Amino acid sequence: MQNTIPKTAPFLLSLVYRKVFPQVSKELNYWKKRANSIPNDELREQALASIQSKRFHCQGGGVYSILAGHRWQEAIKFIVAYQTISDYLDNLCDRSTSLDPRDFRMLHQSMEDALLPENELKNYYTYRKEQNDGEYLSDLVRTCQTCLRQIEDYNLIKKYNLHLEQLYSDLQVHKHVKEEERIPRLEKWHLRYKDKYPTLDWYEFSASSGSTLGIFCLVSYALGQQMNEDLAEKVCVSYFPYMQGLHILLDYYIDQQEDLIEGDLNFCSYYKDKDHLKKRFLFFIDKTNENIQILPHRHFHEMVHSGLVGLYLADPKVKKLENGREITKTLLQASGMRSTFFYFNVRLYNKLKKR
């Protein structure tokens, strides 16, 4: 892939469809084969389910590989492995045989180790009865570590990666404990950051912590040898909380009915009503656009922003939501013509894929 960063939506989509998605599929197929060989039935089921139902997370994250220039394939290898850890652990915790916060913390230690090439691997299943995954999780961690060893100046982004990972892991621990403990834990956690992020309520701060986009952006820039201390800080500030928050709030928005059926926590359910939800989504769209203006390749980040809105609103699940049509129209208008372009392209892509 050339070092030229796309400045138009058609050019970006062309790269995504021709190069990014096929390479993501190649990596996912490898991990699917590995998951199929997991000896433990429960671990195998959750690993395969996470790849089957959440592969679009890897596809979306794979877009950041464009920032890595000629090392885009290395970026995709890292992004797919790291996102697969995230999705697998999310499944293990959501459909867990355990409600032990020690178990969730130990599982997510793998995500920290994946970002620290010098760390030794551990038994991430220490606090649960299911143990034998045939080295599946460890191999995912090793893959991430190997990719990061190839980055000459990894120390420039390490502390920012770990900050974003810590927020992510804290969220996963607090939201998966006993149901009656979840909200108090999340509210108490939010209080530690309330002064720094006064515009966010606890459920919006939680949503902002649940995205891996900032890490993918940092690693891809670093692989492309464009990283310095100033850019590392700018990426972190630009992506957290608003870009990441918009990402996860959209994810929760389309999953509202599923989460209601499964009894899973959904942050969109804590808005007072649909008008409050709409108002806050518009706020996140506006703040995301404002914050990414300080980044180089501004057009790329604007397109990712627009693509997020278009991608999620194009999901067939939106049609089943009570206010789905109204929200879609409002958010597409607020996000501009690029979001509408992505929206119709993703809908067409989904139709062709079904055929």
* Span 301-335, pLDDT tens digits: 999 999 999 999 999 999 899 889 999 999 999 99
C-alpha 246/C-alpha 218 separation (Å) is 18
Q: How confident is the model at residue 182 (pLDDT cuts 50, 70, 90)?
A: very high
Q: How much is the mean pLDDT over the chain? A: 94
Q: Output the pLDDT for position 34.
A: 98
Rounded average pLDDT over 175-201: 96
Burial of 204 (0-12, 13-18, 19+ CB in 10 A): buried
The CATH number of 9-354 is: 1.10.600
DSSP letter (8 states) at residue 252: H
Q: How confident is the model at residue 43 (pLDDT cuts 50, 70, 90)?
A: very high
Burial of 330 (0-12, 13-18, 19+ CB in 10 A): middle
Query: Is the pTM higher than 0.85?
Result: yes
- A 10 A CB-CB count for 274 gives 14
Instruction: For 84-126, write each residue's pLDDT tens digit.
Output: 999 999 999 987 677 899 999 999 999 999 999 999 999 999 9
Domain boundaries, the chain: 9-354
| DSSP states along 19-48 | IIHHHHHHHHHHHHHHHHT-SSHHHHHHHH
